[in-house]
Amino acid sequence: MLQITFFYTNGQIEAFNVVLHEDDALTPQEIHQKIVKHLDKPWCLLHLPEHTICVNTSSLLKVEVKPTMYEMHGEGVFSDVRRVTALSRSAQR
C-alpha cells in the first residue's frame, strides 16, 4: 500500500491510501513512472469506494509518497536527503 499526499496551491492537503494488488507486481521504478505519468496529465482520477475524485494537477505544489522508494535512482532523484527544521538548523550553527 502507498500513501499519496497532495499539497494544493490553495493550502489544502489531502492524503489517500492506494492499494497495490499483488497481481500488479509493479517494481518501485514502475510505480514511480506510473505516478509521474498520471501527474503529467491535466487531471488525475482517484476511484474511492464511495465516489471518484478528479484532481487538477496544475493546482498541485507537491506530492508526497510513503513509504520511501529507495530503489529510485537516476536523473532528478536526490538520494540521502534530510529535511531541515528550525531545530536542526539551529543545531548546525
Whether residue 4 contacts residue 64, with contact meaning beta carbons closer than 8 Å, is answered with yes
For residue range 38-69, what is the model confidence (pLDDT) as tens digits? 889 999 999 999 999 999 999 999 999 898 87
Whether 12 shows a pLDDT value over 80: the answer reads yes
Range of the domain at 81: 2-91
Query: Who has greater pLDDT, 88 or 38?
Result: 38
Q: What is the pLDDT of residue 92?
A: 66
pTM: 0.77
- Rounded distance, CA 28 to CA 59, Å? 26
pLDDT average, residue stretch 5-28: 86
Mean pLDDT over each residue of the chain, to the nearest integer: 85
- Rounded distance, CA 9 to CA 34, Å? 23
Query: Which residues, in sequence order, are CB contacts of 65 under 8 Å at separation 6+?
Result: 2, 3, 4, 5, 35
Q: What is the pLDDT of residue 76?
A: 79
Question: Could you give the number of structural domains in the chain?
Answer: 1
